[in-house]
A and B are shown apart, each in its own frame.
Chain A
Amino acid sequence: MEARDTPVSRDGAATSAGHSFARLSPERLLVFGGIALILVGMVFGDVFAVFILHPNADRIGSHLLEATQAVAAGDTIAIQAQFARISALLENRGTKVDTHVHIIKFGYLSLILALIQPYIALAEHVRKRWAQVFLAGAILLPVSVFCIHYVGLTYSPLQFIGWASITADLGGLLVIVACLGFLAGLWGYLTGSRQTTTQAEQVFRDQSWAARTLLAGGTLLILAGFLHGAYYAGVYRDAHEEQDAALLGAMADRAASGDLTAAVEAVKQYGALQGSKAVHIAAHSHIIEFGLMAILLAFVQSYVFLSERWKRRWVVVFLLGSVILPLFVLLELRWGLVAGGGADVGGLLVILALIGMLVGICRHSGRLDAQSGAVP
C-alpha cells in the first residue's frame, strides 16, 4: 500500500480513493465483488420471496392439513407421505434462505475486507490472491447451498451429506482460510513495521453529505434493529416456541380423538404463528443488514463518480427503501399482501440505489484506468 500524507478536504476522499483503487487491485476486486454479491443476493431474495417462500408456505399448510385428516382417518401411510412432502418443501425453503443470507453476508464481508486493506501488511499480490480465494469461496458456498435441494444424496459417499453440501463446506473453508490470511496480515501490521496510511484512511473521514447521512442513517437503523430484536426475544420468542409445540400436539390429539374441526383450527393457528415468527425475524435481520450496508456504502462514496445531486438522490432512495422494507414486513401481520407489496417496493428501492452507486463506481474505475493509460 502506498503511503502518502495530504490534508483532508471536505470531499477530499475522492482524490485519495484512486490510489487504493488501482486496476486489478485487491481493493477493487473486493469492492466490486462485494457490491455484486449483495445485488445478486437481494435480487435472489426478491425472486425467492415471490416464487418460492409464499407458495411453499401455502403448500406446507395444505400438506399439514391433509396429514391431520389422515390422522383422523387412521391412515398412517398417507401421514408419512404427507410428511415426506413437507420435508422436501422445508428443505427447498431452508436452502433458498441460506443462499440468500450467505451471499449477502459475504458481500458485506467483502466490502469490509476492502476497507481494511490499508492495514493488511502483506504484499499486494498476496492480498490479491487472498481476495480471489475469498471471492471463490463466497460464490461456491451459496451456489452449492442452492443446489442441495436438487442434488440430494446422489452419488454421495456420506449418509447425511450430499455432494452439494460438501462443496458448500469447501466454499466456507475457503472463506475462512482467506479471512485467516487477512487476519495474519492485520496482526503483522499491528506488531511489525507499519506503513503510514494517512491518505488511505481518508476514506473513513469522508465528510461529504452522502457519507455523513449514510453513516448516521446506518447507525440508527442498526440501533432500531437491536431494540426490535430485544423486544421480540423478551416478549414473543419463548411464547412462540411453546405455542409451536402445543399447536402441533393439539393437531395430533384433536384429530386422533375425531374432533377434526378443532384440529383444522390448530393447523390454521400454526400457520399464523409461523407467519408471525417469520415476519419478526425478517424485520429484525433486514433492518440491521440495511444499517450495516448503509455504513459500508458511506465509505465507498469516495469511489462513486457521480454528480453530488445524484449521489444524494441514491442515498435518499437507499435509506427510504431500508426503512420501508422492514416496516412493511412487520405490517404484513395486519395488512397481509398489501404490506407485502410495500415491502417489495422497499427492496426494489434499495436495489435501484445499489445499482446507481455501482454505476458510479464503474465510472470512477474507468476514469482511473483512462488516467493511468490502462485503457486507450
Chain B
Amino acid sequence: MSTSRKLLLIGGLVLVNWAMAYGLWYALFAEHQHLEGMTASLATAFTRAGERNLPDARAAIDAYAKTKFAYVRHVDVHSHWGGLALLLILFGAIFDRVSFSERARLWLAAVFVAGSALFPLGVILQVADPGWLPRALAVLGSGMVTGAMVFVAWGLARQQ
C-alpha cells in the first residue's frame, strides 16, 4: 500500500474516532446545559421585557447569543470532523486512482489530512477566542480541504 493511502486511511480513522469521542463528550457534559441555557436566556429576556426591565432583557439576549454561538460551533465541529474523516478514508481506498506521481499524491494527502483537522479546530477555537487567529485557521483549513478536493477531482478525471 502506498504511503499516501496509508496516511489517508490512518488519518481518517483517527479523525473519525476523535470526532465521535468529541461528540460523546459534548453530549455528556455540555450539550444539555447549552440547550437549557439558550431557552432559559430567551425566556428571561422576554420576561424582563414584560416587566419593562429592558437592560436586563438585553443582557439576557446577549447571553443567549453567546451560548448559541458556542452551541452552533460545537455541533459544526463534531459533524465536520466526522464528515471529513469519512472522506479521508474513502479517498484513502482509491487514492491510487488519482493520476499523479506518488510524491505529489503524498503532498496532496498531507494537505487533505492537515486541512481536515485544522478547519474544525479553527472553528471551535472561536468559542474561546473571537479574534482573527482562529478565523484565519478555519479559512486556511477549509481552503486546504477544498484545494485538495479540486486536485483529487482533477487526478481522478485524468485517470479516467
Give A contacts to B, CB under 8 Å. Answer: 67-68, 70-71, 73-76, 79-80, 83-84, 86-87, 90-91, 94, 101, 105, 108-109, 112, 115-116, 119, 160-161, 165, 168-169, 172-173, 175-176, 179-180, 182-183, 186-187, 190, 194, 204-205, 212, 215-216, 219-220, 222-223, 226-227, 229-230, 233, 241, 244-245, 248-249, 251-253, 255-256, 285, 288-289, 292, 295-296, 299
Contact = CB atoms under 8 A, between A and B. Distances in A.
Contacts of B133: none
Contacts of A248: 42, 45, 61, 64
Contact of B90 (A74, A173, A183, A296): A296
B36 A160 contact: yes
Contacts of B153: 219-220, 223
Contact of A252 (B46, B94, B160): B46
B49 A71 contact: yes
Interface majority SS (helix, strand, loop, mixed), chain B: helix
Given A255-B49, A299-B93, A215 B156 contact: yes
Contacts of A186: 9-10, 13
B39 A79 contact: no
Contacts of B36: 160
A229 B62 CA distance: 27
Given A179-B17, A216-B156, A244 B68 contact: yes
A179 B57 CA distance: 47
19 contacts: A70-B46, A79-B50, A94-B35, A115-B93, A116-B93, A172-B20, A182-B13, A183-B10, A194-B1, A204-B93, A216-B157, A241-B65, A244-B65, A244-B68, A249-B57, A253-B57, A256-B52, A296-B90, A299-B93
